[in-house]
Amino acid sequence: MPLEFPLRSARLDLRPVEEADLDALLQVYGDPEVMRHVGEGRPVDRAGAAAMIAAYRAHQHEHGYAFWAVIERGTGELIGDAGLERTEHGVELGYTLARSRWGRGLATEAGRLCVEAADGPLSLPHLVALADLANPASARVLAHLGFVADDVVEAYGRPHRHFTRAR
């Protein structure tokens, strides 16, 4: 069953990313502190952010899910991304939020919307997630979402805790 957007929680809306989101996402992806635990661990430039948006849009078209724009309902601002992606590890949950929004439970809230979509309309039986060993906050978010750490794997050139969650 296809998803109907936006996915909504008390404080957030999730929707597919659009090309028009480039400037807002560049604010997130261009922040070295935000990106130190994401991907290669480095901020991305405008071309890199545009490539990420194109990849997310293609993934959405092909699989019916991807990383989605996270919109803060109270302000209408795009504050990051959250979603699901097919990777070598399986269907992986991920999220990246602007530093100004850290510590408010928004990553857990966005992650919960993604898990509900996976369990419900997408009928995905199993999810994985990775958390940089140097990012205990992300590990706590995953634990709140019902993920269990089961291994340490090398990803993006550094060790990550590997988490799984079955429906």
How does residue 139 score in pLDDT terms, banded at 50, 70 and 90? very high
CATH 3.40.50.150 for domain 7-166, yes or no, is no
Q: Residue 21's pLDDT is what? A: 98
Distances (CA, A) of 28 to 38, 61, 80, 167: 11, 24, 6, 31
Position 47, amino acid = A
Q: Residue 166's pLDDT is what? A: 86
What residue segments make up the domains of the chain, in order of their start? 7-166
Position 53, amino acid = I
Tell me phi and psi for residue 10, to 5 degrees: -60, -40
pLDDT surpassing 80 at residue 1: no
Give the tokens for residue 35: 């990106």
Q: Residue 46's pLDDT is what? A: 98
Q: At what angle do helices 22-29 and 46-63 cross, to 10 degrees?
A: 110
pLDDT surpassing 90 at residue 167: no
User: 20: how many CB neighbours lie within 10 A of its CB?
Assistant: 10
pLDDT surpassing 90 at residue 2: no
Question: For residue range 8-39, what is the model confidence (pLDDT) as tens digits?
Answer: 999 999 999 999 999 999 999 999 999 999 99
Per-chain mean pLDDT for the chain: 96
Position 156, amino acid = Y
pTM for the structure as a whole: 0.96
Tokens 């997630």, located at residue: 129
The half-sphere exposure of 148 on its side-chain side, counting CA atoms within 13 A, is: 5
What is the mean predicted confidence (pLDDT) over 59-77? 97
Q: Residue 104's pLDDT is what? A: 97
Question: For residue range 96-119, what is the model confidence (pLDDT) as tens digits?
Answer: 999 999 999 999 999 999 999 999
Distance between CA 145 and CA 30 in Å, rounded? 27
pLDDT surpassing 70 at residue 121: yes
